[in-house]
Structure 1
Amino acid sequence: MAEQPPSSRLSLAQAVVSANSRSKAVSIGIEKPPTAAQQVSVSEGQPKVRVLGRMLPVLKRSGYSWKGATSDAGASSTASQPSASKPAPAESTWKASQKLLSKGSTFIAHATPLSSPSARPELFKALMAQKPELETATHNAWAVRTSFGNSPLVQDASFDDGESGCGNFLLQIMREANITNTMIVLTRWYGGVMLGPDRWRLMREATNEALSAQRRITTFSREPVWALDVTDTSPVTSTIGMAIHRPEGARNYLLQSFHTPEPDDGGASAGKKTTAMMKAEKEENLGRLLGALRLLFASWAKVLSADDLDKRAWSWYVSVRPEVDSGPSGWGAKGPLQLDKILDLRRR
């Protein structure tokens, strides 16, 4: 994540470590799986970035500008170019709302951009292929609005699929928001109970959320982000409006984690170290570790795409991490970290 400022990198790193720790704690029986009430609900359309194979929900840092070093920018641009040049598959363009439930009925909406009315059948087919459970729904109503260049004319089309009035209602929502070149699909599993006027509220809520997600920026090649903390259910008092992984905790943890191991050859002790000496020693060790990692990633940055580099990062981590006991006995344990193992992974 060389394109991100240090504070954003620490936020993302904390999110990965926290997620991995929770998964590990559950797998070895130290903790119980979290319930739905213990996690913050994040919309399926929330922007995400991939770090060490995990998709992390993120939030753009509004009003923050960052310009990294020229060498970092060049390496990042080169590494990410192969991925950027590949067209995204049709199914990856769909953005979804959260599922809304009422009296046994379930509503969910999906939205995607489209360039022409003729693209509608293929986009709809791609959505059904990506999420085959939608084909089990009672209704899959849709609506499209397309415009052509600078022409003020807009072409509308819709289909109720048995959900009376739904197609025109979707078009109305898009007209109110002045949205064109977009397709929206509203899916409902009927629960056997008539909802009355509340049906329109649920359809509007799901549709607006999907349209908002579709228009939201979902790639952050140069935009600083915060990693969202989906486990923090306490009331949020900041202006951000959502709980995030703060970088300060990750930074302080790193600064305190890498001390120099005591010699095991039985030699005489060099004397008791002062607090200032131990602090300086840990900072120096952390600098060496980060330097080794920078050399490793720089050696591969011009060869691998950003996605391939991320895929390899996890296997690299597994091969160099300290060896500790498996199971609960090794939880929180520390061990020696060999920097030469990291350097040996560099491209020759």
Structure 2
Amino acid sequence: MTSAQEVQSLLRFLSQDAKLPLAQAMGKVKNLQAAKLVTASDLSKADFESLKTVFGDEKVARQVLNAAKRASKKRASSDASAPVPAPSPKKAKPMPMYGQPLNPTEFEASLALPEADCDEEKLKSAVIYTNRAPLVLAFACTLLKYTMPEQPISSRLSLAQAVTSMNSKNKAIHVGLDTGQAAEDEGWGEGQPIMRIMTRDVRVMKRWGYEWEEESTQGTLTASTQETLKSSQETLVEEAKAKDPALWGVDLEALKKANQPGAGGSYKGATSQLPIYTAQSARAYLMKAFETPKVEGTAPAKRTNTGIVAEKERNLSLLLGALELLYQSWADVLSSETLNNRAWGWYVRVRPDVAHGAAGWGGKGNVKLSDILELRRPAG
């Protein structure tokens, strides 16, 4: 049985050395205990596929494994050079837990995206360079502000990532890069509620008892729209929150992998232990996905990492602004269901051009934000 001190040490390692958000680290402790991976040494020797199953994300699993190897190597070097300590007559005190978990309001604030830039003059000439998956993610996340306004940003990011990942999985199967069936087609997640988002039926998990303060969205709206929407939006959000809890998008592929022979899983349908798409991963994907197109015939200028990060954030702000203006133009005349159904077609019309089939997998291209603006409802 894992001691309280071992749990505290594990949390310190995950949040401090592996740099996971503490809330995410705390959610993985039980699974790590079940897998008997409770120390940095255990994690450094773990099978990578086992870590992917626990964390549900290849990048996060690699991040934890690398941190564990560094910590173990440092510990081994320290042990080899340090003198043997003299016995202490005093009983050692348990080490304090590293940090404190964020409360819901702080957690939601930590997930805030850049404020949407709705300056039409900027948007008409703006072009971004990206691949298709993050563009789907941005379309879906912004759509959910209008079709499911009661959901906090953490839920919108999780649900939008579910749409994106399910679409990528089906595309990989279609072009021959993956075999077999998608998890949802095999019935994984049965018993969990379903939400239709763009073209996907997303299995969701209700976050009963989760209370948060609704973020202000007025900064993303044009001045002419702010006053007319403010009162009705606040009322709609409060009424909806009273009926529906916050949601997580269930990661059916991770659920399927966790139940493969030898993986140690034991569930296929409704349970409180389902793997989810994390809001942190979805946000990180959006923040780094949108580049500025290179100008042909010019030598690339040297840029600092700080400058590159700032540029990508500005591009995301512009993309979000174009999407806000698109959805705003239709929100007052279309039902949520119709808006939801049209969103996929709008994405298809503006997505970057890539090679057909497997050759185009992960390919990048230009997206003109003026093309998104042209999808708005005609004035008058």
Deviation at 1:301, TM superposition (A): 0.5
Q: Does the residue aligned with 2:202 lie in a helix, a strand or coil?
A: strand
Provide, for residues 32-73 of structure 1, a one-character-per-residue CA deviation record: whole Å limited to 9, x for no partner: 023879967322x42111100211111111222242547478
Residue 315 (structure 2) pairs with residue 285 (structure 1):
yes
Provide, for residues 230-276 of structure 1, a one-character-per-residue CA deviation record: whole Å limited to 9, x for no partner: 11133679x94111111111111111110111112x2465x300000
Give the structure with the higher percent helix. 2
Indicate how the Cα distance of structure 1 residues 77 and 332 shifts in structure 2: closer, same or farther if over 3 A, else same: farther
Alignment of 1:125-204 (within 5 A): none
Letter paired with 1:18? S
Q: Which residue of 2 aligns with 1:333?
A: 363
Q: Is the 8 A contact 1:39 1:231 kept in 2?
A: no
Of 300, 308, 322, which aligns to 2:338?
A: 308
Deviation at 1:77, TM superposition (A): 7.6
Give the Cα–Cα distance (whole angstroms) in 1 for the partners of residues 343 and 304 of structure 2: 36
Provide, for residues 185-205 of structure 1, a one-character-per-residue CA deviation record: whole Å limited to 9, x for no partner: xxxxxxxxxxxxxxxxxxxxx
Unaligned runs of 5+ in 2: 1-143, 218-228, 259-263
Give the Cα–Cα distance (whole angstroms) in 1 for the partners of residues 371 and 243 of structure 2: 30
Residue 203 (structure 2) pairs with residue 57 (structure 1):
yes
Give the Cα–Cα distance (whole angstroms) in 2 for the partners of residues 78 and 63 of structure 1: 20
Unaligned runs of 5+ in 1: 85-218
Of 227, 233, 241, which aligns to 2:249?
A: 227
Q: Is the 8 A contact 1:236 1:242 kept in 2?
A: no
Indicate how the Cα distance of structure 1 residues 309 and 75 shifts in structure 2: closer, same or farther if over 3 A, else same: farther
Q: Is the 8 A contact 1:11 1:247 kept in 2?
A: yes
Of 149, 168, 171, which aligns to 1:21?
A: 168
Of 193, 210, 230, which aligns to 1:47?
A: 193
Provide, for residues 200-246 of structure 1, a one-character-per-residue CA deviation record: whole Å limited to 9, x for no partner: xxxxxxxxxxxxxxxxxxx9974310011111133679x94111111
Q: Is the 8 A contact 2:169 2:182 kept in 1?
A: no
Q: Which residue of 1 aligns with 2:280?
A: 248
Q: What's the TM-score once normalised by structure 1's chain length?
A: 0.53
Give the Cα–Cα distance (whole angstroms) in 2 for the partners of residues 73 and 5 of structure 1: 18
Q: Is the 8 A contact 1:236 1:243 kept in 2?
A: no
Provide, for residues 125-149 of structure 1, a one-character-per-residue CA deviation record: whole Å limited to 9, x for no partner: xxxxxxxxxxxxxxxxxxxxxxxxx
Q: Does the residue aligned with 2:366 lie in a helix, a strand or coil?
A: coil
Alignment of 1:33-44 (within 5 A): 33-34=180-181, 41-43=188-190
Q: Does the residue aligned with 2:306 lie in a helix, a strand or coil?
A: helix
Deviation at 1:304, TM superposition (A): 0.2
Give the Cα–Cα distance (whole angstroms) in 2 for the partners of residues 306 and 253 of structure 1: 26
Letter paired with 2:192? Q
Q: Does the residue aligned with 2:203 lie in a helix, a strand or coil?
A: strand
Give the Cα–Cα distance (whole angstroms) in 2 for the partners of residues 268 and 36 of structure 1: 46
Of 291, 304, 326, which aligns to 1:274?
A: 304
Give the Cα–Cα distance (whole angstroms) in 2 for the partners of residues 30 and 267 of structure 1: 36
The structure number with the bigger radius of gyration is 1
Q: Which residue of 1 aligns with 2:289?
A: 257
Indicate how the Cα distance of structure 1 residues 272 and 61 shifts in structure 2: closer, same or farther if over 3 A, else same: same
Give the structure with the higher percent strand. 1
Give the Cα–Cα distance (whole angstroms) in 1 for the partners of residues 234 and 340 of structure 2: 12
Letter paired with 1:283? E
Give the Cα–Cα distance (whole angstroms) in 1 for the partners of residues 274 and 355 of structure 2: 37
Give the Cα–Cα distance (whole angstroms) in 1 for the partners of residues 307 and 246 of structure 2: 35
Q: Does the residue aligned with 2:343 lie in a helix, a strand or coil?
A: helix
Alignment of 1:65-76 (within 5 A): 65-66=211-212, 67-69=214-216, 71=229, 74=232
Q: Which residue of 1 aligns with 2:153?
A: 6
Of 328, 332, 344, which aligns to 2:374?
A: 344
Q: What's the TM-score once normalised by structure 2's chain length?
A: 0.49
Give the Cα–Cα distance (whole angstroms) in 1 for the partners of residues 164 and 310 of structure 2: 25
